[in-house]
A and B are shown apart, each in its own frame.
Chain A
Amino acid sequence: MPSASDTRRAPAPAQDAAAGPPRGPLSTGNVVRGAAFLVAAALILLFPALAPNPFILFSGVIVASYACTATAWNFMGGFTGYISLGHAAFFGLGAYATGLLTGDLDWPPFVAWFVAGLIVVVLCVPVGIAALRVRGASFVIVSIAFVLILLLVAQAWADLTGGSNGLVVPRPFPDLSRPEHHRAFYFLFVALLAVMLLVWWAIDRSRFGAGLKAIREDEDKAQALGVPTRDYKLVAYLVSAFFTALAGGMYALWFGDLDPIFQFSILLGSYMVLMALLGGVRHLFGPLLGAVIVGSALEFFKLEFGDTQLHLVAAAVLLGIVVLFMPDGIIPAARDLARRFGPQGTSIREMTAAELLERNRAAAARTQADADAPQSKEDRP
């Protein structure tokens, strides 16, 4: 017997305007989303062919590397809500490890690259255990301190890292011309990004991801409910560190010259945060979107104000605006806007109990009729 409170059982009929668009695999929302995804993917893949000159291509590689770092940051920041300003530490460690393995030990470039990522993970286990003992402000302080200490060490330990003179990393494809080299690395960065997005998507749907998001919402309650918060946080931290290190290693192979000031830079770590926050940390493509916007903006600022320090001011204003006015990012803001102009969904409160009962009855009668119809056909002699 359907009742007014029985809202779940009533399947919304397609012709009922109040129920909004139908929800299924082929709903308009999904079609739009799929089309947008295909267009974006095609644009990303066609970019090197469309780029009018090598400089734009070069900027494209930088933006792709930003997208990789911001997405890698989001494994930690997006899932657990722990904001790390120090992910540049992993970036720099990955870059230097790759550079040292290929340069000093003559390893094949991409083997060195992957092993460098693993080395960074091993190095980060004790750091992660120490850093994750604290929350909130102290965690941010520790993350900043980690970058600063590595910057000091990289500058002081000149025998190993070359100090401020820089470390030259051998190019993995010595035969390629410069634009071809950029093109190859553009696709390598995009492939790395695709792997990261896939892993993020998988974690987002897993039990592990649910635990991490529980930590983000309320760590104490998550712990009380039996989520192994310390282990989960550490794993998320290490996954994030691994992918950031891979992005750094890729950068080392591409750029070919490492300097401590640029590899272990708080600025780079803050750009990752800015990109992820701007796009939306709770969304798969948020950091990517943020990286495209912020990365292009930064490249533009550097081109325009490269000689002065005004590009710092521009980045600062951008960060301030994001933090003050849209801490959830562009994607939720845009979605709210679309909802305001799109078809209005009806909430239960806008329907009286009598109307709801009437609708449930009609729906139940219709399903009953549907169920009866074929049966009576078969019963017919």
Chain B
Amino acid sequence: MSGSLLFQSLVLGVLLGGLYALLAAGLTLYFGVMRVVMIAHSAFLILAAYLAWYFNKETGLDPLLSLVVTVPLFFAAGVVMQRLLITRLRPATLTMMSVLLTFAIALFIEGMLGFVFTGTQRRINLSYSGSDIEFFGAQIAVVKLVAFGLAAVSLALLYVLLKKSRFGQALRATIQHPQAAQLVGVRTDRVAGLGFGIGLATAAVGGTALSLDATIYPSLHWHWVGPLMAIIVVGGLGSIPGTAIAAMVLGIGQSLLQVELGTTWAQTLFYIALFVTLMVRPQGFFGGRLAQRF
């Protein structure tokens, strides 16, 4: 592998890792606030991508503008989903049953997408689709840069929200110790609902970012479930910094392996990382299981 190719894949890996970090942050939020494993996250991702594509097809405007609609919509959907469905599950079996319930939601979305938009593969054509930027000898597609910028902005917003706002304080308290949070007057059920909404809003952003640069089809979400799950396990379930580091490391690793092995075998990196984590450190490599900090 030549030096410039190595640098190119490294840069692409960082861009990819940023997107992964945003998507996995949502999963970590769900797990933190409700101990819920949200299989449907990647299905919502594809749904957002489809909405962006449809928006672009109908109006001809930039798909990024669809965020104005999809982000509030997904936020509301998250709150409703948590309040109407997830809280109905019995606490004793919540974790297991939430997997099945969100799995059903994922299937539902996949089936509806297939029904409404058919199984045809779709792609957005943008004026800047083909353009590249030269960066120290590496060619970087503008769409990838835009997607990364979107992810970085959202992650920064998420960080500020969690660290600086009063709601963020309540959310972190709910994640760390729900009973104690209730004792000091945090309405944990409401906070959990809003946290769920925020998680789903990140899926709206991530899906739109994805739609800029990917060919989408209804069953695509299965390709995302595995890597995202691997990231949150490697990062330590519930820890947002751990998730971000794991996303970056695995994104870069995948990008580097892709050059030598091709896309399919490079994907196995995620699963190998997952199994190694479970064998060596089941609580995750970065940050503990349900780490106390953000």
Contact = CB atoms under 8 A, between A and B. Distances in A.
- Is chain B found bound to chain A in the same assembly? yes
A277 B107 CA distance: 17
Listed residue (B39, B96, B101, B218) with the most chain A CB atoms within 10 angstroms of its CB: B96
A323 to B, nearest CB: 5
Where chain A touches its partner, the secondary structure class is helix
Contact of B222 (A136, A148, A312, A314): A148
B196 to A, nearest CB: 16
Contact of A141 (B37, B101, B264): B37
Nearest to B289: A138
A308 B115 CA distance: 5
Given A136-B95, A149-B268, A320 B105 contact: yes
B108 A327 contact: no
Interface stretch (B50-58, B206-214, B274-282): B274-282
B99 interface: yes
A313 B115 contact: yes
Interface string A259-275: 00000001100100110
Where chain B touches its partner, the secondary structure class is helix
B278 A130 contact: yes
B101 A152 contact: no
Given A266-B222, A316-B111, A323 B275 contact: no
Given A266-B222, A320-B104, A137 B31 contact: yes
A309 interface: yes
A36 interface: no
A143 to B, nearest CB: 10
A155 interface: yes
Contacts, number: 137
A309 B113 contact: yes
Contact of B226 (A127, A138, A149, A156): A149
Interface residues of B, number: 49
Interface stretch (B83-91, B134-142, B156-164): B83-91
A110 B96 CA distance: 37
Nearest to A313: B111
A282 to B, nearest CB: 13
Nearest to B112: A313
A311 interface: yes
Interface of B: 31, 35, 37, 39, 85, 88-90, 93, 95-97, 99-101, 103-108, 110-115, 119, 218, 222, 225-226, 229-230, 232-233, 237, 262, 264-265, 267-268, 270-271, 274-275, 278-279, 282
In the A-B complex, list the 6 residue pairs whose CB atoms are closest, starting with the nearest: A309-B114, A312-B111, A313-B111, A316-B107, A316-B108, A149-B271
6 contacts: A131-B278, A136-B95, A267-B107, A273-B100, A320-B105, A324-B101
Given A141-B232, A323-B101, 13 more contacts: A133-B278, A137-B35, A138-B233, A144-B226, A270-B103, A312-B108, A313-B107, A313-B111, A316-B104, A317-B108, A319-B100, A319-B103, A320-B104
